[in-house]
Amino acid sequence: MKSAYFSAASLRGLNRMGDVFVPAYDEFPSFSESGSIEMVDNMIAYLPDEDVTLLNIVLTLFSVMPVGFLKWLVRTMENSLDKVGTLPSLMRQLNMGLRGIIFGCYYSGRTGADYQGKNPLDIIGYHINRVED
């Protein structure tokens, strides 16, 4: 896929980090298997330009980091919740930013064009009835 905002390396990095947050487990497809990354531009279009620039840098790094490092980073981000200082603040920002993009794509209800499995929303049983008239 192509993105208007992210480079190919950034998209690879996002898929790799996405799989740490959402690995294949039970009925759930991994983040990359779901192909939900294809809707990422719908979300990124509304972010401030400088946030997109920073994300591109960070995600590009994720594309080459060992998976073990990515797992360590996620644990560190999650453990930063109650800590004081500049580094924990940055970790919390990164954590929320990544979670917003990854979970936003994964539970958007949209999956990739090549994905044949169950939609994550079907797996958790989320359906809402909109009566519009």
Partner 1 sequence: MTVYDYLVIGSGTGGAVLAYNLSKAGAHVLLLEAGKYLTKETYPRNEADASAQLYWGGGLEFSHDARMAFLRARVVGGSSVVNQALMDRFDAMALDDWRAETGVDFFSVEAMAPYYEKAESHIALHTFVLEERNRNAELFSEGCDALGYEWKFLRRAQSDCAHEKDNDCIGCLGGCHRDSKQSTMVVYVREAEKFGLEVQAEVEVDHFEPGETVRVFAKSPNGAKQYQAKNLILAGGTFGTTKMLYQSGYKPKFPALGKYFSSHPQFMFFGVYDEEINAHKGMFQTVTSKDPKFRKRGFKFENVYAGPISTAMLFNVSGRDHQKIMRNYRYMTCAEVALRDENAGEISVDKKGHLLINKHFTDQDIRRRADGTGALKQILSASGAKEVVESRSYFGLHLMGGARMGVDEKNAVVGPDFRVFGEKNIYVSDSSLIPNAPGINPGLTVMALSHRLSEELIQ
Contacts with partner 1 by CB under 8 A lie at 20-23, 25-26, 28, 39, 42-48, 51, 74, 78, 81-82, 84, 89-90, 92-93, 95-96, 99-100, 103-110, 120-121, 123-126, 128-133
The gap between the terminal CA atoms of the chain, to the nearest Å, is 37
Toward partner 1, which CB reaches closer, 47 or 65? 47
Q: Quote the least distance from Cβ 52 to partner 1, whole Å.
A: 10
Token pair 């994550």 in the structure block, residue: 120
Q: How far apart are CA 109 and CA 111, in angstroms?
A: 7
Q: Quote the least distance from Cβ 9 to partner 1, whole Å.
A: 22
Q: How far apart are CA 111 and CA 46, in angstroms?
A: 20
Q: How far apart are CA 48 and CA 54, in angstroms?
A: 10
Q: Quote the least distance from Cβ 84 to partner 1, whole Å.
A: 8
